[in-house]
Chains A and B, each alone.
Chain A
Amino acid sequence: MNESGFLKLENLKKYFPIEEGFFSKVVGHVKAVDDISLQVKKGETFALVGESGCGKSTLAKCILRLIEPTEGDIIYKNKNILELDDKEMKELRKELQIVFQDPYWSLNPRMLVKDIIGEPLKEHRDMKTNEIENRVIELLNLMGMSEDHLRRYPHEFSGGQQQRVALARALALNPDLLVLDEPTSALDVSVQSQILNLLIDLQERFDLTYVFISHDLGVVQYLADRIGIMYLGKLVEIGDKKDVFDDPQHPYTQALLSSIPEPNPRDKKEIETLGGSVPDPSNPPQGCNFHPRCPYAEEVCKEKPPHLSKHHGRQVSCYRVDEIN
């Protein structure tokens, strides 16, 4: 099988209708995901980076078909998952799993940990109760937790432990692809490092592929192989981590990277602040949706949206990329 085709998104769109009035008339659309195409290789960690409102969470849910995309294709192991019927989709769900940002609300507050982790097993496999319990214990141990934690409610645990439970549940059926939607954003820095180490361990052990969504570039720099930068529903730059971090090509990527405060007091950089704020996604700017905030914007940028094209060993979506750099 073609390695680079492990997961392919082709022209994926998710538009949410805006309804007004008593009869819910559609007056416009929020273009949460606006024509996204990318490929993820087997075994790699692909990071999707962007600020709030860029559509990364919506994209995460689309990949798992928790939301039906408006248009486009999602090809996983050479099958278009959007063409599968309910039964086939349910089978496929064993291979695709997700971990969410909010550790507490990822778990049913009224269920015991052992039932939370055991749920996928009950749903898909014909296993006896004690077999399920053994597997759950196995998974807990994998996460550095113990049998004592089986019969407890989520609220009895810390955020880090809750996230581990969520991770154990996600891995119960031995998936191949894990979508991680800001898994450590709600955790403290010291807990974060525990979880990141765990993720790396698991990836090696089980040959997992990660789609890692985050706004924290420090974590992304540590964990990712390749990165995609999102802005207002579109991908503006995709490339190898090193390339994007060392030599960002798109003006937004450049602004984003320079906005990150360095944890190094000697390096008090003149933060080049990006003016303005993210536009309303229901009414994005004409042409390139970044142009109102772009220091390099010109007439051509206001007319038609640019597309990703190959530059300097990666893909950039900008008319002026060569002139700027």
Chain B
Amino acid sequence: MDVELPFEIPKNIEPRLRELKYSLTLLRKNSLSFIGALIIIIFFLMAIFAPILAPYPEHAGRTQDIRNQLEPPSIQNPLGTDHMGRDILSRIIFGARISLLAGTSAIGLALLIGVPLGAIAGFFGGYVDEIIMRVVDLFLSFPPLLLALAISAALGPNLRNAIIAIAITWWPWYTRIIRGDAQSVKEKPFIKAAEAIGESKLKIAFRHLLPNSVTGVIVQSSMDFGSVIITLSSLSFLGLGAQSPTPEWGLMISSHRTYFLTNPWTVIAPGLAILIMVFAFNVFGDGLRDIIDPKTRRR
């Protein structure tokens, strides 16, 4: 897979590109992960080009078409129509946007809170570590879904608050992971070597400790994507997340609960969409771990 590029790669980037190429080769070898990656890419493209791809883009919003309610799959509506007459395929496609955006925001926010706290706990140890970890323990003693539910309910039922609720539920896991990694990296000789050069503690933390402590959270967060999407859908299903007419998959399932036996496609389509997306993220995350973990990488 050697590509001739029309320009000179700056010398400092070249080794990083080499590493990237190697990662991609590894990914290709792990077929399941590769499939996961492909599915994810498809979903991303779906999300980006939703207005173009969806046959009835307006159905993602408030439009109704009472005459076409609950039509089974046909040529005009490959996945049928829902209880408001809207094209399910179009709503699924737009739903990909919602799931991906919401998932990314939730995890991003969780990382934003969790990573600095965990890094500080790991680097400094002592009382700071104790305090942070006790807070983490507190949060972790609640069952995650219940906690998300409670926060979501307290904040008010909408998608934005669901995202916030998930971020608040999720951040402690990341703190724990990066704290552990930071603690083990702290003991390594190259940190002592940096001290022996006379670098300040802050510089060591950012230049040496942090870059080497993040692999754990990177892997975990990509694996978490699946769980986050399910949680989001669950919250929407329970009425706490996305609200009508948002084409969120969980919400779509819940609004058609009563139609499951008579018009199964209204529930199966969004259900399958969730399943496929979560599956893709899970297997990709698994493969990502193998790629990033230095031990399995260097065979």
Instruction: Let me know if chains A and B touch directly in the complex, using CB atoms closer than 8 Å.
Output: yes
B198 & A153 in contact (Cβ 8 Å cutoff): no
Chain B 58-97, CB within 8 Å of chain A: the 1/0 string? 0000000000000000000000000000000000000000
Of the candidates B12, B190, B195, B298, the one whose C-beta lies within 8 Å of that of A151 is B12
Report which B residues bind A (CB closer than 8 A): 11-12, 14-15, 19, 188-190, 192-199, 207-208, 211-212, 294, 298
Shortest A123–chain B CB gap in Å is 5
A100 & B212 in contact (Cβ 8 Å cutoff): no
Instruction: Please tell me if A301 contacts chain B, counting CB pairs below 8 Å.
Output: no
Most buried by A among B189, B196, B211: B196
A106 & B189 in contact (Cβ 8 Å cutoff): yes
Of the candidates A64, A109, A123, the one whose C-beta lies within 8 Å of that of B294 is A109
Smallest CB gap from B209: residue in A: A108
A169 & B193 in contact (Cβ 8 Å cutoff): yes
Shortest A83–chain B CB gap in Å is 17
A105-B188, A152-B15 are known contacts. Are A119 and B194 too (CB-CB below 8 A)? yes
Distance, CA A124 to CA B203, complexed state (A): 14
Q: What are 11 sample pairs from A and B whose C-beta atoms fall under 8 A apart? A: A66-B192, A66-B195, A89-B198, A93-B198, A98-B193, A102-B188, A106-B190, A108-B211, A123-B198, A151-B12, A166-B193
Distance, CA A114 to CA B99, complexed state (A): 43
The secondary structure that dominates the A interface is loop
Most buried by A among B188, B211, B212: B188
Report which A residues bind B (CB closer than 8 A): 61, 64, 66, 89-90, 93-94, 96-98, 100-102, 105-110, 112, 119-120, 123-124, 151-153, 155, 166, 169
Distance, CA A123 to CA B192, complexed state (A): 15
Residues of A within 8 A of B188 (CB): 102, 105
A107 & B190 in contact (Cβ 8 Å cutoff): yes
Distance, CA A64 to CA B194, complexed state (A): 12
Distance, CA A119 to CA B194, complexed state (A): 8
B211 & A110 in contact (Cβ 8 Å cutoff): yes
Q: A105-B189, A119-B199 provided; 16 other pairs, C-beta below 8 A?
A: A66-B196, A93-B198, A94-B198, A98-B192, A98-B193, A98-B196, A100-B189, A102-B189, A105-B188, A108-B190, A123-B199, A151-B11, A151-B12, A151-B15, A155-B298, A169-B193
Smallest CB gap from B127: residue in A: A24
Shortest B25–chain A CB gap in Å is 15
Residues of B within 8 A of A90 (CB): 198
Of the candidates B15, B189, B298, the one whose C-beta lies within 8 Å of that of A112 is B15
B189 & A153 in contact (Cβ 8 Å cutoff): no
Most buried by A among B190, B194, B195: B190
Smallest CB gap from A107: residue in B: B190
A64 & B196 in contact (Cβ 8 Å cutoff): yes
Residues of B within 8 A of A166 (CB): 193
Distance, CA A105 to CA B196, complexed state (A): 15
Residues of B within 8 A of A112 (CB): 12, 15
A153 & B19 in contact (Cβ 8 Å cutoff): yes
Distance, CA A75 to CA B198, complexed state (A): 19
Distance, CA A61 to CA B14, complexed state (A): 36
Residues of B within 8 A of A110 (CB): 211-212
Smallest CB gap from A110: residue in B: B211
Residues of A within 8 A of B195 (CB): 66
Distance, CA A146 to CA B251, complexed state (A): 62
Residues of B within 8 A of A106 (CB): 189-190, 193
A66-B192, A93-B197, A100-B192 are known contacts. Are A108 and B208 too (CB-CB below 8 A)? yes
Shortest B233–chain A CB gap in Å is 37
Of the candidates A93, A102, A109, A155, the one whose C-beta lies within 8 Å of that of B196 is A93
Shortest A313–chain B CB gap in Å is 35
Q: Which 5 pairs, one residue from A and one from B, show the smallest C-beta to C-beta distance?
A: A90-B198, A100-B189, A93-B198, A106-B189, A105-B188
A153 & B15 in contact (Cβ 8 Å cutoff): yes
A123 & B197 in contact (Cβ 8 Å cutoff): yes
Distance, CA A61 to CA B192, complexed state (A): 9
Distance, CA A100 to CA B191, complexed state (A): 11
B294 & A155 in contact (Cβ 8 Å cutoff): yes
Residues of B within 8 A of A107 (CB): 190
Distance, CA A105 to CA B189, complexed state (A): 6
Smallest CB gap from A103: residue in B: B189
Smallest CB gap from A98: residue in B: B196
Shortest A187–chain B CB gap in Å is 15
Distance, CA A201 to CA B207, complexed state (A): 33
Smallest CB gap from A153: residue in B: B15
A97 & B196 in contact (Cβ 8 Å cutoff): yes
Smallest CB gap from B195: residue in A: A66
Residues of A within 8 A of B19 (CB): 153
Distance, CA A27 to CA B298, complexed state (A): 44
A119 & B197 in contact (Cβ 8 Å cutoff): yes
Smallest CB gap from A123: residue in B: B197
A100 & B11 in contact (Cβ 8 Å cutoff): no
Shortest A171–chain B CB gap in Å is 12
Most buried by A among B14, B193, B207: B193
Shortest A104–chain B CB gap in Å is 9
Shortest B122–chain A CB gap in Å is 17
Distance, CA A112 to CA B15, complexed state (A): 8
Distance, CA A112 to CA B11, complexed state (A): 12
Residues of B within 8 A of A105 (CB): 188-190
Residues of B within 8 A of A153 (CB): 15, 19
A108 & B212 in contact (Cβ 8 Å cutoff): yes
Residues of B within 8 A of A64 (CB): 196
